[in-house]
Structure 1
Amino acid sequence: MNLIYLDNAATTKVREEVADVITNVLKNNYGNPSSTHSYGRPSKSLIELSRKEIAGH
């Protein structure tokens, strides 16, 4: 029997490619995006790029 998940208002299964990107970001871009040091700048850039990508949809 195939199960069908109907409680998507509570949570939804994450697509594998999304989980891979999230895992990569959490492992490699942990700098504070509000800081100006070398760890924070890439995080800020990633957030800005993500905002532009989302706004384009």
Structure 2
Amino acid sequence: LEYSYCPECGIRFTERMNDRLNLNGKTYCVNCGQNFIIEQQIINPPIAKSFANYK
């Protein structure tokens, strides 16, 4: 997986930050210190699945 930007300060994730997330699911922003844990990130369901719930 590759992640893009820190939502807190907006800097692009470094290669090492991406590597740590892929390795153990945890990292922190080198600029602002925000912690990231993959299990805590909200992943939206596929659009087709969401649409099926509204029928």
TM-score of the superposition, structure 2-length normalised?
0.26
Q: Which structure has more RCO (C-alpha within 8 Å, separation ≥ 6)? A: 2
TM-score of the superposition, structure 1-length normalised?
0.25
Structure number with greater Rg is 1
